[in-house]
Amino acid sequence: MKVAFIGLGQMGHGMAHNLLQAGNQLTVWNRSREKGNDLVSAGAKLANSPADAVRDAEVAFTMLADDAALEASVFGEHGLMQALPKGAVHVSASTISVALSGRMNHAHREHGQHYLAAPVFGRPDAAQAARLVVVVAGAREAIERCQPLFSVIGQQTFVMGDEPTMANVVKLGGNFLIGSVIESVGEAVALVRKYGVDPRQFVDLLTGTLFAAPVYKIYGGLIVDQKFDPAGFQLKLGLKDVRLALAAGESMNVPLPVASLIRDQALAAIANGLGDKDWSSLSQMAAHNAGLK
Amino acid sequence: MKVAFIGLGQMGHGMAHNLLQAGNQLTVWNRSREKGNDLVSAGAKLANSPADAVRDAEVAFTMLADDAALEASVFGEHGLMQALPKGAVHVSASTISVALSGRMNHAHREHGQHYLAAPVFGRPDAAQAARLVVVVAGAREAIERCQPLFSVIGQQTFVMGDEPTMANVVKLGGNFLIGSVIESVGEAVALVRKYGVDPRQFVDLLTGTLFAAPVYKIYGGLIVDQKFDPAGFQLKLGLKDVRLALAAGESMNVPLPVASLIRDQALAAIANGLGDKDWSSLSQMAAHNAGLK
Amino acid sequence: MKVAFIGLGQMGHGMAHNLLQAGNQLTVWNRSREKGNDLVSAGAKLANSPADAVRDAEVAFTMLADDAALEASVFGEHGLMQALPKGAVHVSASTISVALSGRMNHAHREHGQHYLAAPVFGRPDAAQAARLVVVVAGAREAIERCQPLFSVIGQQTFVMGDEPTMANVVKLGGNFLIGSVIESVGEAVALVRKYGVDPRQFVDLLTGTLFAAPVYKIYGGLIVDQKFDPAGFQLKLGLKDVRLALAAGESMNVPLPVASLIRDQALAAIANGLGDKDWSSLSQMAAHNAGLK
Amino acid sequence: MKVAFIGLGQMGHGMAHNLLQAGNQLTVWNRSREKGNDLVSAGAKLANSPADAVRDAEVAFTMLADDAALEASVFGEHGLMQALPKGAVHVSASTISVALSGRMNHAHREHGQHYLAAPVFGRPDAAQAARLVVVVAGAREAIERCQPLFSVIGQQTFVMGDEPTMANVVKLGGNFLIGSVIESVGEAVALVRKYGVDPRQFVDLLTGTLFAAPVYKIYGGLIVDQKFDPAGFQLKLGLKDVRLALAAGESMNVPLPVASLIRDQALAAIANGLGDKDWSSLSQMAAHNAGLK
């Protein structure tokens, strides 16, 4: 298939690579061009703008850092909205606000194009290994058309419904739950440490039984080891996602008190220098507040 | 071994039954005597008081509903403290306050007896099936002596350290984390429902990937089905445990903001009639606060 | 002085009226023109756009409902930014985001104009009675020039500093504290009511002693009387202000946990139909959560 | 009148002194006897135990630090319960739990004695100056009998109802509201400081207008001056009172989320060494969490 890929960060690069490997005709664009060099060597074309990238595309993926970057690539000068062929599909894989997703959906419909929200779960290594989990929502027919591509970048696809925002809110809900695990495990670990319990034993007990899930193993391990550097996912990005969840709640009048609490802890953590550390360093606040060094 | 068992509720009965089946000489006591009838038919002796029950015991288990019940059985009139032979072990399996556990430990030492805190994870069906997880702390030598009994009631034993309170705080930390899962999933489900997402699909996605743990499957399922009756574990008992976690934090100056939040939601839920429902009905507050019927 | 006034809502109308009464040459603009009729009868000119209104002004006031309305009047088509004479002063009296205030300050400087943030404390009756409290920040020289006008609309002027945003954040901080009073008094009243205490007596005791301030008298009275209709200030507007305070905190990494809590209660209140009631109806959530009818 | 006074701490001493000055026959008791020396010089009798102190009393005041101290003086060996004459009144002025107050009420009734809860608002200087605010509840007839004494120790008496616990819960509600002021002002001050606003000006603005109450002047001033030493009222005692409010809420199923938040901030403050500082030092947590030194 003729595929465009906008955004070659840690996540996007791995996804684009897999799409290319699978035999698709790939055109890529990234703000810093050099990120695309190896893909070009492997057969991809490098475009000068998002608009250039999508001009002949059947499907255009976007995978960008935040609302602002995506908005610029879609609605900005040389953005993809003006150039994507009628009938083609924009697959938005970024973790973005529900509001922007709704706005893109509306605009694409006006332009006779299709729009799918397809955020993914997984860290950069999963993107590279084609082991992402793809959560998609939008018109069923467009989803079916893109399914072969989703199979190339991920291990599983979950279809959430007809409204693209459904996929976005599911992604935000999921990320909020990851934050909840970090915050609650951070508190529990601070508690047991004050009683002299070895936190590794505590986490092993949890993950050996009721809490035997990757999320507790990954973050529980990071919290116990206090290994926050280098960051797998920065605290400030974690805060961004929690804010998007709060905003999604706000526009539908859904209070999310645990998310509010995580937001406040994250702001305190950032104010105290942890913004670039791994998201799991949020647990440092619980430790500090318990008087642990 | 000569074993006494005090407290034949849903949990204790299953545990006592398994200890008897394994060939131990069992003497039981329960406030309402009839709960012990079938154990007596199967060969156990029925005592008239905790003191009577433990008079010849090598190991005495207690499994009672709360601090008050345990305190009465231990320190009250005809309590076990006065009757347990020197050198025998009291294994306290109830979920109780760290404070009471510390007090019992102290008193048993004064009486020349041993004391282990050995709270368990698992619901009544796990108690019956000998599939509990036993979390134990106290003198290593006493733990070793009781290990054959732990193997009879549970599938796994985790040793936390020399201080009995370590096991109690680990149990409370674990229960607090269960509460955190209920609260956070309740909020996330309310969020996605407001966007039209099928909550079952949302929970399936979670438990099919990062959150693939029993705790998300069990409570996620109950929340989605809104099946709060009959209660596997009543909300008011869940609140009790969260309060014990908060109290454990309080005496060591450990703030637990997520636990505070659960406590407040639980009080609101109880004030609105949910006290006897399953603990997972806490999620009704998130639904109500989002304007969901 | 030649004064323009943009925005003749409940607050703006009273302020404009007082400026006119004091002998200033007044030109007004409002989206719905009829709001200016009586001012025109009293000698004001009615403009067709914000740009028209400010074309000859020495000082231009804006008093609009929110960021969006103000942004349109300032930066939009026929907005005042393009028309305000060099050297003239824009006095922004609306309660708006710190971010928008900073952006206007920057733009006015580029246009050779002056910009003051001068939000006010007081309800519509205080605006009419010229009894507002004016909180102003910006270049000292511009403040001095406008002082005679502030004296006409308010009873007191507080100068906060050279940076206009200082006045905005002070206003937002103040409104957040009003919200804190409503929430905390709502909780305390729910508590004492459950013990059979007459809430009026409780509030009288408070406001007769340590808490003898207008904010406790006004909101305490409304909470006790449960008189939420007609709204002096709607709950949804209260939420808007709390969100602005949270946003101001967010951009400087200042967690405001009490504000987060108010936000969540307000969302729940709105989800349950209280959005158009008085802000003090937030207390209904505390009552509901305590099981009070 | 024949008056006994149990507890000559900073508060109690001033109150006892005023009762003596007014011409009552005073017998006092305090754990450390020397605190009563000057009262003895002025004509009071010094008793050897609470029981001795109340043996001939018509009215017995207690003013002790906490539940434990009061419980010992009332129900303990040589406690007043056994010695107070039938028909005499026990006036409990301490800030204590609703639960203990209810228990004393019950016991006094069984002993044919009267019991009033009469907690007071005011710091030690107000106790000395007879400017306390007395909040009383209990049988009307007993209140009337004691009114002359209340007039001697305070400037105002507020009668809350027939049930003594009503006065206790009102006192706890009031103290909770003081804590709310400290926490919310602490947050607001952190916010405006991050924007360069002089916090003194901010507090002056507040207390010059809507927030013109002693509670904002006193605590706002302490927060701005960061003058937490010597403590007028220690943070750890503030936490004690917030816990009593939470407990009062708990037994009636009243969630108090702002109180929970104060509790958690206070625990963090104590864990970080502020327990003996003034209660207003709670604001240091908000400052710290905003990255302010």
Residue extents of the structural domains in chain A:
2-161, 169-289
- The b-or-e profile of D30-44 (16+ CB within 10 A means b, else e) is beeeebbeebeeeeb
Does D271 reach chain A within 8 Å, measured CB to CB? Answer: yes
CATH superfamily of C2-162: NAD(P)-binding Rossmann-like Domain (3.40.50.720)
Q: Based on C-alpha coordinates, what's the Rg of chain A?
A: 20
Chains that touch C (3 or more CB pairs under 8 A): A, B, D
Residues of B within 8 A of D257 (CB-CB) are 260-261, 264
* Mutant choice from A184, A282, A289 vs D, greatest count of D C-beta within 10 A: A289
- For residues C240 and C246, what is the distance between their CA atoms, to the nearest angstrom? 10
- For residues A51 and A75, what is the distance between their CA atoms, to the nearest angstrom? 10
- For residues A157 and A140, what is the distance between their CA atoms, to the nearest angstrom? 13
Whether the per-residue pLDDT at B293 is higher than 90: the answer is no
Task: Average the pLDDT over B50-69 and give the result.
Answer: 97
Does C154 reach chain D within 8 Å, measured CB to CB? Answer: no
The number of C-alpha atoms within 13 Å of A13 and in the hemisphere containing its C-beta is 18
Does D268 reach chain C within 8 Å, measured CB to CB? Answer: no
* Chunked mean pLDDT (size 10), chain A, 293 residues: 97 98 98 96 98 98 97 98 98 98 98 98 93 97 98 97 98 98 98 98 96 96 96 94 98 98 98 97 98 92
The SS3 of residue C48 is coil
Residue of D156, D166, D210 with shortest CB distance to C195: D166
**In terms of CA atoms, which chain C residue is nearest residue A240?**
C250
The SS3 of residue A122 is coil
* Chunked mean pLDDT (size 10), chain D, 293 residues: 97 98 98 96 98 98 97 98 98 98 98 98 93 97 98 97 98 98 98 98 96 96 96 94 98 98 98 97 98 93
- What pLDDT was estimated at residue C293? 82
Residues of A within 8 A of C265 (CB-CB) are 255
Distance of residue C211 Cα from the nearest chain D Cα, in angstroms: 5
The SS3 of residue D5 is strand
- What pLDDT was estimated at residue B3? 98
Residue of A250, A263, A267 with shortest CB distance to C267: A250
In sequence order, which residues have a C-beta less than 8 Å from that of residue A6 and are 6 or more positions away?
A: A12, A28, A29, A30, A50, A53, A54, A60, A61, A62, A63, A64, A73, A80
Q: In degrees rounded to 5, what are phi and psi of residue C203?
A: -70, -35
Q: Tokens 């350290």: give the residue.
A: B161
C24-48 tens-digit pLDDT: 999 999 999 999 999 999 999 999 9
The overall longest dimension of chain C from CA atoms, in Å, is 64
Q: Note whether A70 and A15 are within 8 A (CB).
A: no
- For residues A116 and A99, what is the distance between their CA atoms, to the nearest angstrom? 14
Mean pLDDT, all residues of chain B:
97
- For residues D71 and D64, what is the distance between their CA atoms, to the nearest angstrom? 10
Residues 167-206 of chain B with CB under 8 A from chain C are none
The model's pTM:
0.96
Residues of D within 8 A of B271 (CB-CB) are 253-255
Q: Could you say which residues of chain C have pLDDT below 70?
A: none
Residues of D within 8 A of C201 (CB-CB) are 158, 160
CB pair distance less than 8 Å for C216 and D216: no
> Of C35, C171, C240, C277, which one is the catalytic site residue?
C171
Residues of B within 8 A of A242 (CB-CB) are none
Does C257 reach chain A within 8 Å, measured CB to CB? Answer: yes
C14-30 tens-digit pLDDT: 999 999 999 999 999 99
Does C268 reach chain B within 8 Å, measured CB to CB? Answer: yes
Task: Average the pLDDT over B66-73 and give the result.
Answer: 97
CA B106, distance to chain mean position in Å, is: 22
In sequence order, which residues have a C-beta less than 8 Å from that of residue C80 and are 6 or more positions away?
A: C4, C6, C50, C51, C53, C54, C60, C62, C73, C74, C90
- For residues D17 and D36, what is the distance between their CA atoms, to the nearest angstrom? 10
Number of Cβ pairs closer than 8 Å across B and C? Answer: 26
Does A249 reach chain B within 8 Å, measured CB to CB? Answer: yes
Q: What is the DSSP string of A90-106?
A: EEE-S---HHHHHHHHH
CATH superfamily of A169-289: N-(1-d-carboxylethyl)-l-norvaline Dehydrogenase; domain 2 (1.10.1040.10)
Chains that touch D (3 or more CB pairs under 8 A): A, B, C
- Structure tokens of D292? 């302010």
Residues 1-30 of chain C with CB under 8 A from chain D are none
Residues paired with residue D27 on neighbouring β-strands, in sequence order? D4, D45
**In terms of CA atoms, which chain A residue is nearest residue D264?**
A289
Closest alpha carbon to D43 in D62, D17, D63: D17
Is C227 known to be catalytic? Answer: no
CB pair distance less than 8 Å for B267 and D253: yes
Q: Note whether A8 and A36 are within 8 A (CB).
A: yes
> Of D171, D227, D240, D293, which one is the catalytic site residue?
D171
Distance of residue A207 Cα from the nearest chain D Cα, in angstroms: 28
What string of H, E and C letters represents the secondary structure of C132-147? EEEEEECCHHHHHHHH
CB pair distance less than 8 Å for C156 and D194: no
CB pair distance less than 8 Å for D192 and C208: no
**In terms of CA atoms, which chain C residue is nearest residue D219?**
C210
Q: What is the DSSP letter of C85?
A: P
The number of C-alpha atoms within 13 Å of B31 and in the hemisphere containing its C-beta is 9
Does A284 reach chain B within 8 Å, measured CB to CB? Answer: no
Residues of D within 8 A of B248 (CB-CB) are none
- Structure tokens of C212? 């003898």
ipTM of the complex: 0.97
- The b-or-e profile of A238-251 (16+ CB within 10 A means b, else e) is bbbbbbbbbebbbe
CB pair distance less than 8 Å for C248 and D210: no
Q: Which CATH architecture has domain A2-161?
A: 3-Layer(aba) Sandwich (3.40)
CB pair distance less than 8 Å for A253 and C243: no
Number of Cβ pairs closer than 8 Å across C and D? Answer: 208
CB atoms within 10 A of CB C195: 23
Q: In degrees rounded to 5, what are phi and psi of residue A251?
A: -75, -10
Q: Note whether C49 and C82 are within 8 A (CB).
A: no
Does B99 reach chain D within 8 Å, measured CB to CB? Answer: no
CB pair distance less than 8 Å for D201 and C245: no
